[in-house]
Amino acid sequence: MVVEVRVSGGRAELRPRGELVHGCARTLADTLGELPDGVREIELDMSGVHFMDTAGLGFLDLLDDHRHRHGVPVRTAHWQGQPRRILELAGLDTEEPLRSAAHGGAGPAGPPPRTTSAVALERAERLRMLREEIAQLRQAIASRPVIDQARGMLMAAHGCTSQEAWTILRETSQLSNTKLRTVAAMVTAGAGSEGTPLPDDIRSALRTALFHHRS
Protein backbone atom coordinates (compact mmCIF):
# COMPACT_ATOMS: atom_id res chain seq x y z
CA MET A 1 0.00 0.00 0.00
CA VAL A 2 1.14 3.57 -0.71
CA VAL A 3 -0.26 6.73 0.87
CA GLU A 4 -0.49 9.94 -1.13
CA VAL A 5 -0.43 13.10 1.00
CA ARG A 6 -1.71 16.57 0.23
CA VAL A 7 -1.50 19.36 2.82
CA SER A 8 -3.38 22.62 2.39
CA GLY A 9 -3.35 25.11 5.23
CA GLY A 10 -4.03 23.18 8.39
CA ARG A 11 -5.72 20.26 6.63
CA ALA A 12 -3.98 17.06 5.51
CA GLU A 13 -5.64 14.73 3.03
CA LEU A 14 -4.26 11.19 2.89
CA ARG A 15 -5.14 8.81 0.05
CA PRO A 16 -4.14 5.17 0.67
CA ARG A 17 -3.90 3.07 -2.52
CA GLY A 18 -3.80 -0.72 -2.84
CA GLU A 19 -4.39 -3.47 -0.28
CA LEU A 20 -4.77 -2.82 3.43
CA VAL A 21 -3.00 -5.86 4.86
CA HIS A 22 -0.33 -6.75 7.44
CA GLY A 23 2.38 -4.09 7.58
CA CYS A 24 0.21 -1.24 6.30
CA ALA A 25 -0.25 0.22 9.78
CA ARG A 26 3.51 0.85 9.83
CA THR A 27 3.26 2.71 6.52
CA LEU A 28 0.44 4.84 7.94
CA ALA A 29 2.36 5.52 11.17
CA ASP A 30 5.36 6.73 9.15
CA THR A 31 3.10 8.97 7.05
CA LEU A 32 1.41 10.48 10.09
CA GLY A 33 4.80 11.05 11.73
CA GLU A 34 6.02 13.00 8.69
CA LEU A 35 3.10 15.43 8.58
CA PRO A 36 4.22 19.04 9.09
CA ASP A 37 3.55 20.94 12.27
CA GLY A 38 0.36 22.95 12.22
CA VAL A 39 -1.89 20.24 10.78
CA ARG A 40 -5.19 20.64 12.60
CA GLU A 41 -7.35 18.19 10.65
CA ILE A 42 -6.69 14.86 8.90
CA GLU A 43 -8.95 13.12 6.41
CA LEU A 44 -8.33 9.79 4.68
CA ASP A 45 -9.94 9.12 1.29
CA MET A 46 -10.30 5.31 1.29
CA SER A 47 -11.69 4.99 -2.26
CA GLY A 48 -8.35 3.65 -3.52
CA VAL A 49 -8.28 0.71 -1.08
CA HIS A 50 -9.74 -2.31 -2.90
CA PHE A 51 -8.93 -5.10 -0.42
CA MET A 52 -8.67 -5.25 3.35
CA ASP A 53 -8.12 -8.08 5.82
CA THR A 54 -8.29 -8.00 9.61
CA ALA A 55 -5.10 -5.89 9.65
CA GLY A 56 -7.39 -3.05 8.59
CA LEU A 57 -8.84 -2.99 12.09
CA GLY A 58 -5.35 -2.30 13.43
CA PHE A 59 -5.12 0.49 10.86
CA LEU A 60 -8.21 2.08 12.38
CA ASP A 61 -6.86 1.63 15.91
CA LEU A 62 -3.73 3.53 14.88
CA LEU A 63 -5.78 6.42 13.51
CA ASP A 64 -7.89 6.54 16.65
CA ASP A 65 -4.77 6.55 18.82
CA HIS A 66 -3.23 9.36 16.77
CA ARG A 67 -6.22 11.64 17.14
CA HIS A 68 -6.37 11.09 20.90
CA ARG A 69 -2.65 11.61 21.47
CA HIS A 70 -2.39 14.72 19.27
CA GLY A 71 -5.87 16.18 19.75
CA VAL A 72 -6.34 16.38 15.97
CA PRO A 73 -9.69 15.46 14.37
CA VAL A 74 -9.25 12.43 12.10
CA ARG A 75 -11.91 11.02 9.80
CA THR A 76 -12.09 8.52 6.97
CA ALA A 77 -14.44 8.55 3.99
CA HIS A 78 -15.38 6.76 0.76
CA TRP A 79 -15.13 3.14 1.94
CA GLN A 80 -16.18 0.90 -0.96
CA GLY A 81 -16.48 -2.71 -2.05
CA GLN A 82 -14.84 -5.43 0.01
CA PRO A 83 -13.30 -3.09 2.64
CA ARG A 84 -16.77 -1.67 3.29
CA ARG A 85 -18.07 -5.22 3.75
CA ILE A 86 -15.36 -5.86 6.35
CA LEU A 87 -16.54 -2.80 8.29
CA GLU A 88 -20.10 -4.13 8.19
CA LEU A 89 -19.04 -7.53 9.53
CA ALA A 90 -17.00 -5.83 12.26
CA GLY A 91 -20.08 -3.86 13.32
CA LEU A 92 -18.51 -0.50 12.46
CA ASP A 93 -20.09 2.56 10.90
CA THR A 94 -19.44 2.21 7.15
CA GLU A 95 -19.47 5.97 6.66
CA GLU A 96 -17.15 6.79 9.56
CA PRO A 97 -15.77 3.73 11.37
CA LEU A 98 -13.74 5.86 13.77
CA ARG A 99 -17.00 7.19 15.17
CA SER A 100 -17.97 3.62 16.04
CA ALA A 101 -14.65 3.03 17.75
CA ALA A 102 -14.95 6.25 19.72
CA HIS A 103 -18.39 5.37 21.08
CA GLY A 104 -18.02 1.62 21.36
CA GLY A 105 -16.16 1.47 24.68
CA ALA A 106 -17.51 1.07 28.14
CA GLY A 107 -18.06 3.91 30.59
CA PRO A 108 -15.60 4.76 33.35
CA ALA A 109 -16.92 2.11 35.72
CA GLY A 110 -17.14 -0.51 32.96
CA PRO A 111 -20.07 -2.82 32.26
CA PRO A 112 -21.06 -5.76 34.43
CA PRO A 113 -19.01 -8.95 33.84
CA ARG A 114 -21.89 -10.64 32.01
CA THR A 115 -22.15 -7.75 29.52
CA THR A 116 -18.39 -7.78 28.98
CA SER A 117 -18.56 -11.51 28.25
CA ALA A 118 -21.40 -11.01 25.74
CA VAL A 119 -19.52 -8.24 23.96
CA ALA A 120 -16.37 -10.35 23.84
CA LEU A 121 -18.28 -13.28 22.37
CA GLU A 122 -19.91 -11.07 19.77
CA ARG A 123 -16.57 -9.58 18.74
CA ALA A 124 -15.00 -13.05 18.55
CA GLU A 125 -17.82 -14.22 16.27
CA ARG A 126 -17.46 -11.16 14.05
CA LEU A 127 -13.72 -11.74 13.80
CA ARG A 128 -14.33 -15.37 12.84
CA MET A 129 -16.75 -14.23 10.10
CA LEU A 130 -14.20 -11.69 8.88
CA ARG A 131 -11.46 -14.29 8.62
CA GLU A 132 -13.77 -16.77 6.90
CA GLU A 133 -14.93 -14.26 4.30
CA ILE A 134 -11.38 -13.09 3.62
CA ALA A 135 -10.21 -16.70 3.18
CA GLN A 136 -13.03 -17.33 0.70
CA LEU A 137 -12.14 -14.19 -1.21
CA ARG A 138 -8.47 -15.13 -1.38
CA GLN A 139 -9.42 -18.59 -2.67
CA ALA A 140 -11.67 -17.05 -5.32
CA ILE A 141 -8.88 -14.74 -6.47
CA ALA A 142 -6.43 -17.66 -6.66
CA SER A 143 -8.92 -19.81 -8.60
CA ARG A 144 -9.88 -17.23 -11.20
CA PRO A 145 -6.97 -17.68 -13.67
CA VAL A 146 -7.45 -21.45 -14.10
CA ILE A 147 -11.22 -21.05 -14.36
CA ASP A 148 -10.86 -18.35 -17.02
CA GLN A 149 -8.43 -20.57 -18.93
CA ALA A 150 -10.85 -23.51 -18.84
CA ARG A 151 -13.69 -21.27 -20.04
CA GLY A 152 -11.55 -20.14 -22.95
CA MET A 153 -10.82 -23.73 -23.92
CA LEU A 154 -14.50 -24.67 -23.84
CA MET A 155 -15.37 -21.62 -25.94
CA ALA A 156 -12.79 -22.58 -28.57
CA ALA A 157 -13.66 -26.27 -28.60
CA HIS A 158 -17.45 -26.03 -28.50
CA GLY A 159 -18.29 -22.62 -29.95
CA CYS A 160 -19.99 -21.36 -26.81
CA THR A 161 -20.00 -17.94 -25.21
CA SER A 162 -18.09 -17.05 -22.05
CA GLN A 163 -21.28 -17.22 -19.97
CA GLU A 164 -22.24 -20.60 -21.50
CA ALA A 165 -18.76 -21.95 -20.75
CA TRP A 166 -19.15 -20.82 -17.15
CA THR A 167 -22.52 -22.60 -16.92
CA ILE A 168 -21.00 -25.80 -18.37
CA LEU A 169 -18.16 -25.77 -15.84
CA ARG A 170 -20.53 -25.09 -12.96
CA GLU A 171 -22.91 -27.89 -14.00
CA THR A 172 -19.99 -30.29 -14.42
CA SER A 173 -18.88 -29.39 -10.91
CA GLN A 174 -22.36 -30.01 -9.50
CA LEU A 175 -22.93 -33.28 -11.37
CA SER A 176 -19.57 -34.73 -10.35
CA ASN A 177 -19.64 -33.28 -6.83
CA THR A 178 -16.22 -31.76 -7.48
CA LYS A 179 -15.00 -28.26 -6.68
CA LEU A 180 -15.27 -25.87 -9.61
CA ARG A 181 -11.57 -24.99 -9.47
CA THR A 182 -10.65 -28.70 -9.60
CA VAL A 183 -12.89 -29.24 -12.63
CA ALA A 184 -11.35 -26.24 -14.38
CA ALA A 185 -7.82 -27.48 -13.64
CA MET A 186 -8.67 -30.93 -15.05
CA VAL A 187 -10.21 -29.44 -18.20
CA THR A 188 -7.12 -27.29 -18.68
CA ALA A 189 -4.73 -30.20 -18.06
CA GLY A 190 -6.67 -32.41 -20.49
CA ALA A 191 -6.41 -30.01 -23.42
CA GLY A 192 -4.40 -31.03 -26.47
CA SER A 193 -3.39 -34.42 -27.85
CA GLU A 194 -0.95 -35.08 -25.00
CA GLY A 195 -3.16 -33.79 -22.23
CA THR A 196 -4.08 -35.73 -19.12
CA PRO A 197 -7.32 -37.69 -19.69
CA LEU A 198 -10.27 -36.60 -17.58
CA PRO A 199 -11.39 -38.99 -14.83
CA ASP A 200 -14.49 -40.96 -15.79
CA ASP A 201 -16.84 -39.08 -13.45
CA ILE A 202 -15.64 -35.67 -14.67
CA ARG A 203 -15.79 -36.74 -18.33
CA SER A 204 -19.33 -38.07 -17.88
CA ALA A 205 -20.48 -34.94 -16.08
CA LEU A 206 -18.89 -32.70 -18.72
CA ARG A 207 -20.55 -34.66 -21.51
CA THR A 208 -23.94 -34.24 -19.81
CA ALA A 209 -23.39 -30.51 -19.29
CA LEU A 210 -22.40 -30.07 -22.94
CA PHE A 211 -25.50 -32.01 -24.03
CA HIS A 212 -27.69 -29.64 -21.99
CA HIS A 213 -25.94 -26.69 -23.61
CA ARG A 214 -26.61 -27.98 -27.11
CA SER A 215 -30.24 -28.92 -26.43
**Domains (range + CATH), the chain:** 2-103 (3.30.750.24), 144-214 (no CATH)
> How do residues 50-69 score in pLDDT, each as one tens digit?
888 777 777 888 888 888 88
Query: Which of 144, 165, 134, 174 has its CA nearest to residue 19?
Result: 134
- What pTM, to 2 d.p., does this model score? 0.51
Residues of the chain with pLDDT under 70: 100-127, 131, 133-143, 192-195
The per-residue pLDDT for 120 is: 54
